Amino acid sequence: MTTNTVEIGADPRAELQVAFGHFGDASRRLSGAFDSLRDRVAALGEELADARRGNARLNAHLGALLRALPGGVLVLDRHGRIREFNPAALDWLGEPLVGESLAAVLERVRVAPAGAGEAIALAGGRTVSLSRRALEDGGEVVLIADVTQAQQVQAVIARQQRLLTLGEMAAGLAHQIRTPLAAAMLYASQMTIPGRSAADLARCAEKTGASLKQLDRLVSEMLAFAHGGAERELVSLDALLEQVAYWLRPVMRAGTQLTIRTEAPKLGVRVNASSLASAVLNLAINALQASAGPLCVELIARRGAPGRAEILVRDDGPGIDSALRERIFEPFFTTRTRGNGLGLSIVKSVVEAHGGQVRLAETPVGATFVIDLPAEERR
């Protein structure tokens, strides 16, 4: 850098010449900076254009992927309202979607929960499951997968398994059926003997009827195991427990105390009411049969995990030995000399046919069976 020194009182033209020199230097520097800035702006413009072209290609690629996905995709804002969707989601859920809450859309298109988990039965006959992931802006991405075929295959497999077990049961029940059948035939033949008194005939008729009732019970249990429940309807948990209590009270012996408690009165389950009530009744009767003395039996309905209901059958009887806990739901497994070992296996089959599970809970006293089922809110 050149430094010019001007003496005071020097020639004004010299001062002007020095000033022009400073101005020339500044102009050259400004011109160089401008050229550099112009080149940089041009370079940034090219980079921005490249980025825009890249973003356009990326957006087109992502759009093609979303359109080609076999599943539905919804993007929700932080208020849970739909702001974007792909064609599969529109095809399955129908319009309107944008601006609607996911809960309202599902309420519009849903027939009923289709089973455990997030599976949902849609009005068009399709069954879907939902997976959700949070976004950084507070929204969510919801993936909708078509599980219709998987549900159908699962139902077929479950039915085939029940039929396979039914075949094994039929072989094992041969001697179970033969005994009451032989007794019925014996007492019926005795009724044809001439000269029998009215009391003898009444006794034979009673024994014949009891044997036939035992046969009917065995057949009914086999059919219940095979079908696992049929037509279903939404019923309240308290009504279901009242039905069980209505059937249970006539067979309760003196000293037995029955308590019914519903902790979720507006909660319902979509079930075949008679088959599920029979399953719960079976658990309660097991409790009565396992105890010879006074007994307290509780029937409890309550909320379980989100979207689930629980029915508890609890007693303060002798309980179940820990060595037997793993086998109690096996067909034909029984610790009673007059039992056929079908009761708990039928309970398990009926509950699973309704998309639920049954388990024996750990309790310090007695036994507590817990039935877990998909639930719906009743209006």
DSSP letters spanning 174-192? HHHHHHHHHHHHHHHHHTT
Per-residue tokens: 251: 């067979």
Rounded to whole angstroms, how far apart are CA atoms 276 and 373?
A: 11
Rounded to whole angstroms, how far apart are CA atoms 342 and 351?
A: 14
- What's the average pLDDT block by block, 10 residues per block, for the chain (379 residues)? 49 72 74 71 72 64 56 83 82 83 81 54 76 83 78 72 61 56 80 84 84 72 55 84 84 83 85 80 83 84 90 86 71 56 74 85 86 85
Instruction: Quote the pLDDT of residue 310.
Output: 93
Q: Which of 302, 317, 297 is nearest to 240 (CA)?
A: 302
The phi-psi region of residue 292 (left if phi > 0; otherwise alpha if psi is between -120 and 50; otherwise beta) is alpha
In this structure, the chain runs to a length of 379
Q: Which of 370, 241, 237, 378 is nearest to 313 (CA)?
A: 370
Phi–psi pair at 234, nearest 5 degrees? -80, 120
- What share of residues in the chain are helix, strand, coil (percent, to 5)? 50, 20, 30
Question: In b/e form, how buried is each residue of 187-217, taking b as 16+ CB within 10 angstroms?
Answer: beeeeeeeeeeeeeeeebeebbeebbebbee
Long-range CB contacts (within 8 A, 24+) of 272-276: 272/229, 272/230, 272/231, 272/232, 272/233, 272/354, 273/233, 273/235, 273/240, 273/243, 275/224, 275/227, 275/228, 275/229, 275/230, 275/350, 276/229, 276/240, 276/350, 276/351, 276/354
Half-sphere exposure of 276 (CA within 13 A, CB side): 32
Instruction: Quote the pLDDT of residue 57.
Output: 67
Instruction: Quote the pLDDT of residue 299.
Output: 92
Instruction: Quote the pLDDT of residue 116.
Output: 41
Per-residue tokens: 21: 């020199």
**Burial zone of 137 (CB within 10 Å; 0-12 exposed, 13-18 middle, 19+ buried):** exposed
Instruction: Please check whether residue 374 is in contact with residue 270, taking contact to mean a CB–CB distance below 8 angstroms.
Output: yes
Q: Which of 367, 247, 369 is nearest to 310 (CA)?
A: 369
Rounded to whole angstroms, how far apart are CA atoms 288 and 63?
A: 64
Instruction: Quote the pLDDT of residue 62.
Output: 55
Rounded to whole angstroms, how far apart are CA atoms 48 and 52?
A: 6
Instruction: Quote the pLDDT of residue 154.
Output: 72
Give 327's contacts (C-beta < 8 A, 6+ positions apart): 333
Rounded to whole angstroms, how far apart are CA atoms 320 and 345?
A: 16
Rounded to whole angstroms, how far apart are CA atoms 301 and 238?
A: 7
